[in-house]
Amino acid sequence: MPTNTTTMNTTPTTQPLASKRQSMVGVVVSDKMDKTRVVLVTRFEQHPKYKKYVKHHKRYKVHDQKNEFHIGDRVRIEACAPVSKHKAFVAVEKIGVQDVEQYLKTRGLN
């Protein structure tokens, strides 16, 4: 009988595995709801014909279990199973702080 010569690596990895879930970075623009934050995500997309980069904005309702993120916080959000009708993202970590009034004014959203 041939013996199985493959060995399994059982040593623990020192670095955390990267999440395969969709993640984005945005700014919290509303924290009026309990355990829900509204996060504005801005992304640049190149126009297929004219090759000019165009800004696209989208607001996501994000689950925040501990109510720890507030207006102006720059956060990373990650996709998850739907929590409610409108929430399919969860706030993962705070990256920094952004002046929301200035942020919205410079993007023409205020």
pLDDT digits 0-9 by tens, 7-38? 555 544 444 556 678 899 999 999 999 999 99
pLDDT in tens, 67-110: 999 999 999 999 999 999 999 999 999 998 877 777 667 766 66
C-alpha 15/C-alpha 103 separation (Å) is 34
| pTM of the model as a whole | 0.74
What does the domain layout of the chain look like in residue ranges?
23-106
Contact yes or no for 98/74 (Cβ under 8 A):
yes
**pLDDT above 60 (res 6):** no
Distance CA 64, CA 76 (A): 12
Residue written as token pair 């109510």:
67
CATH fold, domain 23-106, is: OB fold (Dihydrolipoamide Acetyltransferase, E2P) (2.40.50)
The answer to whether residue 51 scores a pLDDT higher than 80 is: yes
